[in-house]
Amino acid sequence: MASNLDIFEKELEDAVVVELSGEIDISTVTELKEKLYAIVEQKNRSVKLDCTNLNYIDSTGLGVLVGVLKKVKSNNNDIYITNLKNNIKKLFLITGLNKVFIIEE
């Protein structure tokens, strides 16, 4: 069964908010990568990932986020991750990525 991921983008004055809904795994990670890289290249702003409706992320998804973070940092911007569910927040803690990303409650 294929996973489903919806990506919605809206611009704020100081950042681009990207709402993630569904699951990020091997079947959806290419779409995520293409969309986030395009946003970073076109907007040159910080990115806020709203994970209110994100139910799952695997290691391929975390890898994409790290790659996007490097690209964002090269433009002197940041990635903020908001509204993580406990199971996903735990993954960031276990992997140490909570020290790399700015995670907001």
Tell me how far apart the alpha carbons of residues 25 and 86 are, in angstroms, rounded to a whole number.
18
Sole residue written with tokens 């990303």: 101
Phi-psi map region of 44: left, alpha, beta (phi>0 left; psi -120 to 50 alpha): left
Percent of the chain exceeding pLDDT 90 equals: 90
Please give the torsion angle defined by the CA atoms of residues 29, 90, 49 and 6, in that order, rounded to the nearest 10 degrees.
40
The per-residue pLDDT for 53 is 97
Instruction: Name which of 35, 34, 29, 33 is nearest 2 in CA terms.
Output: 29
The per-residue pLDDT for 13 is 87
Sole residue written with tokens 């993630």: 20
Average pLDDT, the chain: 94
- Enumerate the domain spans of the chain: 5-104
The per-residue pLDDT for 1 is 47
Which pair of structure tokens corresponds to residue 105?
Answer: 């409650």
Query: Which residues is 103 bridged to in the sheet?
Result: 81
The CATH fold assigned to 5-104 is Transcription Regulator spoIIAA (3.30.750)
pTM over the 0.75 mark: yes
